[in-house]
Amino acid sequence: MTVLNGKGVLDGIAIGKIVFYQRKGQEAVKRHVENTEEELRRYQDAKEQEAADLKKLYEKALHEAGEKSAKIFEIHQMILEDIDFCDAITDTIKSERVNAEYAVKKACDTYIQTISAIDDPYLKERAADIRDISQKLIGILTNSESDTFTSEEPVIIAADDLTPSETVQLDKSKILAFITINGSVNSHTAILARSMNIPAVVAVGEELGLKYNGNNAIVDGASGRIYIAPDAETVRLFSERREAKKAEQEQLHSLKGKKSVTMDGKEINIYANIGRPEDVEAVLRNDAEGIGLFRSEFLYLGRETYPTEEEQFQAYRSVAENMQGKQVIIRTLDIGADKQADYFEMPKEANPAMGCRAIRICLTRQDIFKTQLRALYRASAFGNIAIMFPMIISVGEVRAIKQIIHAVQLELSGEGAAYNPETKLGIMVETPAAALISDELAKEVDFFSIGTNDLTQYTLAIDRQNPSLEHFYDAHHKAVLTLIRITAENAHKNGIFVGICGELGADLSLTETFLRMGIDELSVSAPCVLPLRKKVMETRMDR
């Protein structure tokens, strides 16, 4: 038996045969061309095809791995359209009079060489993205078949590394685990593996070689160990551990239909976050008590024009009806920062996370906002909808929103359109400003929802998407928890409910803390609902 060590990405045990992922070679040989216009046209056609492919990958990732993972392909789309990257390719075609695939390879190599010289994990991840995009472009230009993986039985996939596009295209039913020579626990592929709930071990090193292809192995995602050609006793021990985990999952399923109540009788609502109407299936399957965050950005991203009122209405209505009376809290559009749509024609900003985003766009482009509000209010006639506004920092913003809502309601009434005039209105508390004036804000709305992701990054002044700052980023920082406590106290003081819809809501080490603060609702990704309910049911508050 041989034991290899890497970095575990997701806790879990897989037992099966190792099969190496084999890529088909893609030639990008340099050729002189006379007709550069034809090469530019080939490049543009390839770009359009890749953009269409990325859209399909986004949809597949969204369905199988959730919104956070799907965003990877939005980043790829942005890189594909990046002006500097595109100019490097077209300039090479025109100035050197070479074929498009070679120009793509040259641009890719230049960017990766520049980035690799900088010791920054975040930039290194961008290098992997550029390589993935370039490989796909070259494959389209050379008419190379896409890499495929087929297996009659589920196997452990081994590779030097896997790109996000390769990972998401694999048939999940045939994958027991991923093991890779390179990679990191923060890579996009690792994020996908976690979201797809597939055990993975990365950064095993060159010891993981083709000589192990076809060998039986055990992958322990918790420890990051791989046992190749394990003896009978090791197989028995890990089989027992795997069965224990399976029994734990069955116990979680037995909690469906039960209330989320502590041992001493304190009840809390456990809701789910969704990014698209299709996600309702997972919400119901995991027995969430409602939807605490329905992100409406999906209607605006990955398209070339604004969504119509009717498109929005149908999406909101379908979710409200499918939830059969359970509350659905819909957040108005949160475009900006890391979520960009070209047709909004937003000016370039040096610091978009601090720029014109979310409610700031809505209040400065009221035609867009009114269209969404009309759709939301029309949908309110078909279910238990509440509306939530992001990035609020002042009472004046809330009052301005109410004036616009009043105008929308008058319009709908004049048209004879059905809507619920008692629709609950809430705000996201995701800035220190909102938390510190939450006593005043609570007098204006029906509920608060604390967005802990942004609240943490704005409180700590740390970009939460920059992995090179990971060791500085502390989501449990006393300042963050203090702002959450202040917000909860001011909500209850003014008779409104308060929830949490950020990632901290699923942090089981903080569940009791949140319960003691008086948080009324925790909204998490659908797979986290039952583990969170179990934690609540095992907690005592009277000691």
What secondary structure does DSSP assign to 29-78, as a single string? ---B-S-HHHHHHHHHHHHHHHHHHHHHHHHHHHHHH-HHHHHHHHHHHH
Q: In the structure encoding, which two tokens stand for residue 5, read together?
A: 């060590």
The whole-number average pLDDT for the span 168-195 is: 81
Whether the pLDDT of residue 521 is over 90: the answer is: yes
| CATH code where residue 43 lies | 1.10.274.10
Of 76, 188, 362, 528, which one is the catalytic site residue?
188
Q: Is residue 251 part of a domain?
A: no
Q: Is residue 311 part of a domain?
A: yes
Q: Pick the range with the lowest mean pLDDT from 108-122, 336-350, 527-541.
A: 336-350
Give the pTM. 0.68
Whether the pLDDT of residue 484 is over 70: the answer is: yes
406 is catalytic: no
Domain count, the chain: 3
Of 108, 362, 501, 528, which one is the catalytic site residue?
501
pLDDT band (50, 70, 90) for residue 147: low
pLDDT digits over 376-402, tens only?
Answer: 999 999 999 999 999 999 999 999 999
Burial class (CB within 10 angstroms; exposed 0-12, middle 13-18, buried 19+) of 20: middle
pLDDT digits over 93-131, tens only?
Answer: 999 999 999 999 999 999 888 877 666 555 666 777 888
Q: In the structure encoding, which two tokens stand for residue 325, read together?
A: 């009376």
Tokens 């998401």, residue located? 168
Residues 274, 364, single domain; the answer is yes
Q: Is residue 114 part of a domain?
A: yes
Residues 203, 265, single domain; the answer is no
Average pLDDT value over all residues in the chain: 89
- 280: nearest Cα among 330, 340, 338, 334: 330
- Residue 447's pLDDT is 98
188 is catalytic: yes
Residue type, 91: D
Q: Is the separation of the CB atoms in 502 and 435 below 8 Å? A: no
Residues 48, 117, single domain; the answer is yes
- What is the domain extent for residue 110? 36-141
Q: Is residue 254 part of a domain?
A: no
- Residue 149's pLDDT is 66
- Contacts of residue 297, Cβ cutoff 8 Å, sequence gap at least 6: 275, 333, 334, 335, 339
Residues 313, 401, single domain; the answer is yes
pLDDT band (50, 70, 90) for residue 519: very high
Whether the pLDDT of residue 527 is over 70: the answer is: yes
- Residue 27's pLDDT is 72
